[in-house]
Amino acid sequence: MKKMEEKILSEATVLPGGVLKVGSFLNQQIDTVFLKEIGAEIARLFEDSGATKILTVEASGIAVAVAAGMAMELPVVFAKKNMTSNMTGDVYSAGIYSFTHRVEKDIMVSKEYLPEGEKILIVDDFLAHGSALTGLIDIVKQAKCEVVGCCAVIEKGFQNGGANLRNRGYRLESLAIIDEMTDVSIIFREDGFTSLI
Protein backbone atom coordinates (compact mmCIF):
# COMPACT_ATOMS: atom_id res chain seq x y z
CA MET A 1 0.00 0.00 0.00
CA LYS A 2 1.88 2.97 -1.38
CA LYS A 3 0.08 5.43 0.86
CA MET A 4 1.15 3.50 3.97
CA GLU A 5 4.78 3.83 2.94
CA GLU A 6 4.32 7.55 2.34
CA LYS A 7 2.61 7.96 5.71
CA ILE A 8 5.45 6.15 7.47
CA LEU A 9 8.05 8.27 5.71
CA SER A 10 6.28 11.53 6.53
CA GLU A 11 5.25 10.82 10.14
CA ALA A 12 7.17 7.91 11.66
CA THR A 13 10.38 8.16 13.61
CA VAL A 14 12.89 5.46 14.42
CA LEU A 15 13.78 5.27 18.10
CA PRO A 16 16.87 3.62 19.60
CA GLY A 17 16.54 -0.14 19.82
CA GLY A 18 14.80 -0.51 16.46
CA VAL A 19 11.45 0.83 17.63
CA LEU A 20 9.37 2.40 14.87
CA LYS A 21 7.18 5.10 16.35
CA VAL A 22 3.92 5.62 14.51
CA GLY A 23 2.00 7.11 17.42
CA SER A 24 0.81 10.07 15.37
CA PHE A 25 -1.52 8.02 13.18
CA LEU A 26 -1.73 4.39 14.33
CA ASN A 27 -0.60 3.64 17.87
CA GLN A 28 -1.74 6.35 20.20
CA GLN A 29 -3.28 8.93 17.97
CA ILE A 30 -5.36 7.45 15.15
CA ASP A 31 -5.89 9.18 11.84
CA THR A 32 -9.43 7.95 11.29
CA VAL A 33 -9.68 9.09 7.66
CA PHE A 34 -6.54 7.11 6.86
CA LEU A 35 -7.73 4.24 9.05
CA LYS A 36 -10.82 3.93 6.87
CA GLU A 37 -8.53 3.51 3.85
CA ILE A 38 -6.58 0.84 5.73
CA GLY A 39 -9.84 -1.00 6.37
CA ALA A 40 -10.81 -0.78 2.70
CA GLU A 41 -7.41 -2.10 1.62
CA ILE A 42 -7.62 -5.08 3.98
CA ALA A 43 -11.13 -5.78 2.66
CA ARG A 44 -9.80 -5.68 -0.91
CA LEU A 45 -6.89 -8.01 -0.13
CA PHE A 46 -9.06 -10.58 1.63
CA GLU A 47 -12.35 -10.27 -0.25
CA ASP A 48 -11.97 -13.85 -1.57
CA SER A 49 -10.79 -15.31 1.74
CA GLY A 50 -14.18 -16.48 2.96
CA ALA A 51 -13.46 -14.95 6.39
CA THR A 52 -16.39 -15.01 8.80
CA LYS A 53 -14.71 -13.24 11.70
CA ILE A 54 -11.70 -11.01 12.43
CA LEU A 55 -9.43 -11.68 15.40
CA THR A 56 -6.91 -9.31 16.94
CA VAL A 57 -5.35 -8.58 20.32
CA GLU A 58 -5.83 -5.51 22.50
CA ALA A 59 -5.02 -2.67 22.52
CA SER A 60 -3.48 -1.24 19.35
CA GLY A 61 -4.83 -4.02 17.11
CA ILE A 62 -8.40 -3.00 17.88
CA ALA A 63 -8.57 0.12 15.69
CA VAL A 64 -7.23 -1.71 12.63
CA ALA A 65 -9.45 -4.74 13.17
CA VAL A 66 -12.51 -2.53 13.61
CA ALA A 67 -11.71 -0.65 10.38
CA ALA A 68 -11.36 -3.95 8.51
CA GLY A 69 -14.48 -5.35 10.17
CA MET A 70 -16.52 -2.32 9.18
CA ALA A 71 -15.30 -2.53 5.58
CA MET A 72 -15.99 -6.29 5.40
CA GLU A 73 -19.11 -6.22 7.61
CA LEU A 74 -17.59 -8.92 9.81
CA PRO A 75 -17.57 -9.16 13.60
CA VAL A 76 -14.30 -8.48 15.39
CA VAL A 77 -13.05 -10.39 18.42
CA PHE A 78 -10.08 -9.16 20.40
CA ALA A 79 -7.94 -11.25 22.72
CA LYS A 80 -7.47 -9.72 26.16
CA LYS A 81 -4.28 -9.50 28.13
CA ASN A 82 -6.01 -9.58 31.50
CA MET A 83 -8.89 -11.57 32.88
CA THR A 84 -11.66 -9.11 33.71
CA SER A 85 -14.78 -9.41 35.81
CA ASN A 86 -16.97 -9.25 32.70
CA MET A 87 -15.37 -12.36 31.20
CA THR A 88 -17.21 -15.54 32.05
CA GLY A 89 -16.82 -19.18 31.21
CA ASP A 90 -13.85 -20.87 29.67
CA VAL A 91 -11.18 -19.13 27.68
CA TYR A 92 -8.64 -20.15 25.08
CA SER A 93 -5.23 -18.77 25.94
CA ALA A 94 -1.72 -18.60 24.52
CA GLY A 95 1.50 -17.13 25.82
CA ILE A 96 3.08 -14.30 23.86
CA TYR A 97 6.17 -12.22 24.42
CA SER A 98 5.70 -8.52 23.88
CA PHE A 99 8.92 -6.89 22.75
CA THR A 100 7.23 -3.49 23.07
CA HIS A 101 6.26 -4.01 26.71
CA ARG A 102 9.19 -6.38 27.38
CA VAL A 103 7.05 -8.92 29.22
CA GLU A 104 5.63 -12.38 28.62
CA LYS A 105 1.87 -12.44 28.82
CA ASP A 106 -1.05 -14.76 28.31
CA ILE A 107 -3.67 -13.56 25.87
CA MET A 108 -7.20 -14.86 26.25
CA VAL A 109 -10.39 -15.18 24.21
CA SER A 110 -13.69 -16.36 25.67
CA LYS A 111 -14.59 -19.65 24.03
CA GLU A 112 -18.11 -18.47 23.30
CA TYR A 113 -16.82 -15.98 20.71
CA LEU A 114 -14.86 -18.56 18.73
CA PRO A 115 -17.30 -21.35 17.95
CA GLU A 116 -15.88 -24.27 15.98
CA GLY A 117 -15.71 -23.84 12.22
CA GLU A 118 -15.30 -20.06 11.96
CA LYS A 119 -12.99 -18.82 9.22
CA ILE A 120 -10.70 -16.34 10.89
CA LEU A 121 -8.79 -13.39 9.48
CA ILE A 122 -6.11 -12.35 11.97
CA VAL A 123 -5.22 -8.66 11.97
CA ASP A 124 -2.65 -6.67 13.94
CA ASP A 125 -0.88 -3.35 13.70
CA PHE A 126 2.71 -4.63 13.80
CA LEU A 127 4.48 -7.82 12.82
CA ALA A 128 8.09 -8.23 13.91
CA HIS A 129 9.04 -11.47 15.67
CA GLY A 130 5.50 -12.74 15.12
CA SER A 131 4.78 -13.60 18.74
CA ALA A 132 1.31 -12.05 18.83
CA LEU A 133 0.19 -13.53 15.49
CA THR A 134 1.57 -16.95 16.44
CA GLY A 135 -0.34 -16.80 19.74
CA LEU A 136 -3.53 -15.83 17.93
CA ILE A 137 -3.06 -18.70 15.43
CA ASP A 138 -2.61 -21.05 18.38
CA ILE A 139 -5.92 -19.85 19.85
CA VAL A 140 -7.72 -20.28 16.51
CA LYS A 141 -6.45 -23.89 16.34
CA GLN A 142 -7.55 -24.64 19.89
CA ALA A 143 -11.02 -23.43 18.88
CA LYS A 144 -11.04 -25.76 15.85
CA CYS A 145 -11.45 -22.76 13.58
CA GLU A 146 -9.50 -22.06 10.40
CA VAL A 147 -7.00 -19.25 9.78
CA VAL A 148 -7.87 -17.97 6.30
CA GLY A 149 -5.39 -15.12 6.38
CA CYS A 150 -3.15 -12.86 8.44
CA CYS A 151 -2.68 -9.15 7.94
CA ALA A 152 -0.24 -6.74 9.54
CA VAL A 153 -0.33 -3.03 8.88
CA ILE A 154 3.45 -2.74 9.19
CA GLU A 155 5.83 -5.68 8.95
CA LYS A 156 9.44 -5.45 9.98
CA GLY A 157 10.79 -7.64 7.21
CA PHE A 158 14.25 -7.73 8.77
CA GLN A 159 12.89 -9.73 11.68
CA ASN A 160 11.75 -13.28 11.22
CA GLY A 161 8.04 -13.28 12.09
CA GLY A 162 6.72 -12.76 8.57
CA ALA A 163 9.08 -15.25 6.94
CA ASN A 164 8.20 -17.89 9.52
CA LEU A 165 4.48 -17.50 8.96
CA ARG A 166 4.82 -17.60 5.16
CA ASN A 167 7.05 -20.68 5.43
CA ARG A 168 4.37 -22.34 7.51
CA GLY A 169 1.98 -21.77 4.61
CA TYR A 170 -0.12 -18.94 5.98
CA ARG A 171 -1.40 -16.29 3.65
CA LEU A 172 0.11 -13.15 5.11
CA GLU A 173 -0.39 -9.69 3.66
CA SER A 174 1.35 -6.68 5.15
CA LEU A 175 0.39 -3.19 4.04
CA ALA A 176 4.01 -2.07 4.26
CA ILE A 177 7.12 -4.20 4.71
CA ILE A 178 10.22 -2.50 6.04
CA ASP A 179 13.39 -4.34 5.02
CA GLU A 180 15.84 -1.99 6.62
CA MET A 181 15.63 1.02 8.87
CA THR A 182 18.06 3.39 10.49
CA ASP A 183 17.44 6.70 12.18
CA VAL A 184 17.71 8.44 8.80
CA SER A 185 16.24 6.04 6.27
CA ILE A 186 13.62 3.38 5.82
CA ILE A 187 13.79 0.90 2.95
CA PHE A 188 10.59 -0.80 1.91
CA ARG A 189 10.15 -4.10 0.13
CA GLU A 190 8.26 -3.67 -3.12
CA ASP A 191 7.35 -6.44 -5.51
CA GLY A 192 10.45 -8.35 -4.55
CA PHE A 193 12.72 -5.32 -4.87
CA THR A 194 13.87 -2.93 -2.21
CA SER A 195 14.00 0.77 -2.80
CA LEU A 196 14.73 3.88 -0.84
CA ILE A 197 11.73 6.16 -1.06
Instruction: Give CA angle at 115 (66, 150), nearest 5°.
Output: 45
Q: Using DSSP, state whether 82 is helix, strand or coil.
A: coil
Q: For a copy of itself, give the closer residue by CB, 62 or 163.
A: 62
Nearest approach, Cβ of residue 46 and a copy of itself (Å): 15
Q: What CA–CA distance (Å, rounded) separates 156 from 100?
A: 13
Q: b/e string for 170-188 if b means 16 or more Cβ within 10 A?
A: bebbbbbbbbebeeeebbb
Q: For a copy of itself, give the closer residue by CB, 146 or 190.
A: 146
Nearest approach, Cβ of residue 195 and a copy of itself (Å): 25
The answer to whether 81 and 58 are in contact (CB under 8 A) is: yes
Nearest approach, Cβ of residue 168 and a copy of itself (Å): 27
Nearest approach, Cβ of residue 192 and a copy of itself (Å): 29
Q: Which helix (H) or strand (E) holds 32?
A: helix 32-45
Q: For a copy of itself, give the closer residue by CB, 23 or 95.
A: 23
Binding region for a copy of itself (CB under 8 A) = 15, 17, 19-24, 27-33, 35-36, 58-59, 62-63, 66-67, 69-70, 73-78, 80, 82, 84-88, 100-102, 109-110, 112-113
Cβ neighbours around 103 below 10 Å, total? 10
Q: Which helix (H) or strand (E) holds 119?
A: strand 119-127
Nearest approach, Cβ of residue 191 and a copy of itself (Å): 29
Q: For a copy of itself, give the closer residue by CB, 83 or 195.
A: 83
The answer to whether 176 and 152 are in contact (CB under 8 A) is: no
Q: For a copy of itself, give the closer residue by CB, 47 or 168.
A: 47
